[in-house]
Amino acid sequence: MIDLHMHTLHSDGELIPAELVRRAKLVGYRAMALTDHVDQSNLETVLSSLKAAAQALTRGFGIMVLAGVEITHVPPKQIPGLIRKAREEGAEVVVVHGETPVEPVARGTNRAAIAGGADILAHPGLITLAEARQARRQGVALEITSRPGHCLTNGHVAKAALQAGCALVINSDAHAARDIYSRDLIKKVAAGAGLSPAKLDFCKRNALEICRRVRG
């Protein structure tokens, strides 16, 4: 299993990186990304800590741990520049907090994240087909999530992504131990979004491709 959207105590998660990674390892994860919430105020500090943790825990637990960020509630015009800044600071996975229906995310965030070339647009809500097509051209993956609230538009996101031909990934958006997903939960989330077992395999391959782009 691969999960490229997870949170620790470095933002609003409940666990330190070591415990999150250990618990994920025990349920069968092969790769994961630590992607705590950032904006202009904390990107460098958070990413520095996560890079150190990712390196140590990859060696210590034998699981690929990537250091990333989730750019969250940033004004849309500033998102592309912050994506570039995150990459310059060594982020291996850049996620942008999309226009979920359960938070007051600024309109235009989805489009800015895609234009900026994020790796993953998280829980993009009622994303348009035009935006999904642009995501395909930009190589941005759209996220199906098991996170309560954010998951309300999973079916819409899946339909738009498949119609546009862009990549889909399934992530937990974990904030606590109880959020770490099992193989059974992944299957249920995929089925709930209208994805067949073959499309679930497609999501898994997309996540693996992101990992390969980073680590080879």
**Using CA atoms, how far apart are residues 71 and 183, in angstroms rounded to an integer?**
27
pLDDT value, residue 102: 98
Residues 29, 6 contacting (CB under 8 angstroms): no
In the chain, the domains with their CATH numbers are 2-215 (3.20.20.140)
| Chain Cα centroid distance, residue 168 | 11
**DSSP 8-state code for residue 168:** E
Q: Which of 159, 156, 161, 85 is nearest to 116 (CA)?
A: 85
Which stretches within the chain are classed as H helix?
A: 17-26, 43-61, 79-88, 109-115, 129-138, 154-164, 183-192, 197-215
Q: Which helix (H) or strand (E) holds 49?
A: helix 43-61
| Global pTM value | 0.97
Residue 4 carries which side chain, given as an amino acid letter? L
pLDDT value, residue 216: 73
Q: Which of 57, 56, 2, 78 is nearest to 33 (CA)?
A: 2
Query: What is the pLDDT tens value at each position of the chain, 216 positions in all?
Result: 999 999 999 999 999 999 999 999 999 999 999 999 999 999 999 999 999 999 999 999 999 999 999 999 999 999 999 999 999 999 999 999 999 999 999 999 999 999 999 999 999 999 999 999 999 999 999 999 999 999 999 999 999 999 999 999 999 999 999 999 999 999 999 999 999 999 999 999 999 999 999 887
